[in-house]
């Protein structure tokens, strides 16, 4: 009997411990995270809101009107008084209120002074000294556009991070695409009546650049994190300025013009990367830019509508940040390409290429090598070699966007 009693007592103690453990776990999981702080920054397009938390949480963000507000519903989370007492120095948010619409959710209602639409919302894992962060990017718009993006229909949630209905209401040629994916426009140089450089054996640059662009697009498509467009998919001529317009129409996050070089010196070889500069980095770069920019003359067009002085001022004002980002990407390109192919000295160069002059799209021009060099021409004709170039480019693109995301979250 004593043994039986001891066994029963052990079972009761074990059961009590198990029930207590379950209750503890349930109560612990009931509040999975604590949102500790809110920060707001301003940029040219709008505002970035950053919520600091101690763990990942589920969310839904959407807009409401009368009064105009940005609403964030969070689940299984606590919200500290720091959020409700937040004072916005940018004057975007006038007041913050926290409520409890359901037992398992909290609602943060931010009264806003500026009509906006939500561009994207995402959670960042701890990194670079920061904890978990929930980020919302909003874009300033007019009242009419704001009113077309109100309610749950346009909500961004933790299931997909985007609103499936987010389409620019002001664009005459709106294209539905996921802003969660970075948009890349690849520009195969030359085409149609403009063959570009003619290689050692007579091959045309326009054919090499198109083959390379298709190889790179195929590789980037498989990664699933980009939406990739080509300025041309066949042998057609497109004026240089129209190539830039294509990138801007797609709202590209990155534009890459692909070329192959040529030189009187048949021994010249090596890959190079160019970003925009009104003053070329050397005479060779200046001469190359002049040759490429003359492609517009083939179509009989003069796209320089302003004096050089006015054009320079406008470009310099608009392109400071874009040029910095272009140079940053070029740096990643050089790092990756150095591991696999021959590079020219001073690989990152600067020139006034017309295709690099989109004021709001980071842009680079990639010279794959010298078609005038027998060895490099033969390499560029080989699919395996172009695949190697595409692999290095893909790695550089990933590094660029990963680094940009880390740097932009303050």
Residues of the chain with pLDDT under 70: 1-31, 128, 159-180, 278-320, 405-410
Return the pLDDT at 39.
93
Return the pLDDT at 329.
93
Return the pLDDT at 306.
37
Instruction: Please answer whether residues 193 and 298 qualify as being in contact, where contact means their C-beta atoms are separated by less than 8 angstroms.
Output: yes
182-408 maps to which CATH number? 3.40.630.40
Return the pLDDT at 153.
82
**25 φ, ψ to 5°?**
-60, -45
Joined together, the tokens standing for residue 404 give: 């940009």
Return the pLDDT at 125.
85
Joined together, the tokens standing for residue 60 give: 């839904």
The tokens 């309610």 sit on which residue? 151
Domain limits, CATH 3.40.630.40, in the chain: 182-408
At the top level of CATH, the class of 32-157 is mainly beta
Return the pLDDT at 207.
97
How far apart are alpha carbons 98 and 103 in whole angstroms?
Answer: 14
pTM for this prediction: 0.53
How far apart are alpha carbons 175 and 366 in whole angstroms?
Answer: 28
Identify the DSSP state of 45. S
């Amino acid at each position: 009997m004593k043994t039986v009693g001891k066994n029963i007592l052990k079972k009761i103690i074990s059961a009590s411990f198990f029930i207590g453990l379950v209750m503890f776990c349930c109560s612990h999981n009931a509040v999975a995270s604590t949102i500790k702080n809110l920060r707001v920054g301003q940029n040219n397009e709008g505002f970035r809101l950053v919520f600091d938390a101690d763990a990942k949480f589920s969310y839904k963000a959407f807009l409401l009107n009368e009064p105009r507000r940005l609403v964030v519903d969070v689940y299984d989370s606590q919200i500290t008084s720091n959020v409700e007492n937040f004072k916005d120095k940018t004057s975007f948010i006038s007041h913050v209120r926290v409520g409890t619409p359901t037992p398992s959710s909290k609602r943060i209602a931010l009264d806003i002074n500026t009509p906006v639409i939500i561009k994207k919302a995402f959670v960042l894992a701890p990194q670079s000294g920061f904890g978990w962060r929930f980020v919302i990017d909003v874009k300033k718009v007019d009242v009419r556009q704001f009113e077309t993006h109100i309610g749950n229909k346009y909500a961004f949630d933790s299931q997909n991070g985007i609103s499936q209905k987010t389409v620019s209401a002001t664009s005459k040629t709106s294209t539905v695409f996921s802003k969660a994916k970075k948009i890349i426009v690849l520009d195969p140089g030359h085409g149609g009546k403009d063959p570009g450089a003619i290689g050692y054996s007579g091959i045309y640059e326009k054919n090499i650049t198109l083959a390379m662009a298709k190889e790179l697009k195929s590789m980037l498509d498989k990664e699933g994190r980009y939406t990739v467009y080509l300025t041309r998919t066949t042998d057609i001529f497109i004026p240089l300025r129209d190539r830039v317009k294509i990138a801007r129409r797609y709202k590209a996050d990155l534009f890459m013009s692909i070329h192959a070089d040529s030189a009187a010196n048949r021994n010249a070889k090596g890959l190079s990367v160019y970003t925009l500069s009104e003053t070329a980095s050397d005479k060779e770069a200046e001469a190359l830019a002049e040759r490429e920019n003359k492609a517009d003359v083939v179509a009989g067009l003069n796209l320089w509508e302003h004096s050089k002085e006015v054009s320079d001022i406008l470009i310099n004002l608009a392109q400071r940040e874009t040029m910095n980002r272009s140079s940053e990407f070029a740096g990643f390109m050089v790092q990756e390409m150095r591991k696999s192919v021959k590079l020219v000295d001073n690989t990152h160069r600067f020139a006034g290429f017309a295709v690099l002059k989109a004021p709001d799209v980071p842009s680079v021009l990639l010279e794959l090598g010298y078609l005038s060099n027998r060895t490099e021409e033969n390499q560029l004709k080989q699919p395996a070699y172009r695949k190697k170039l595409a692999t290095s480019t893909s790695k550089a693109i990933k590094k660029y966007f990963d680094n940009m995301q880390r740097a932009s979250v303050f």
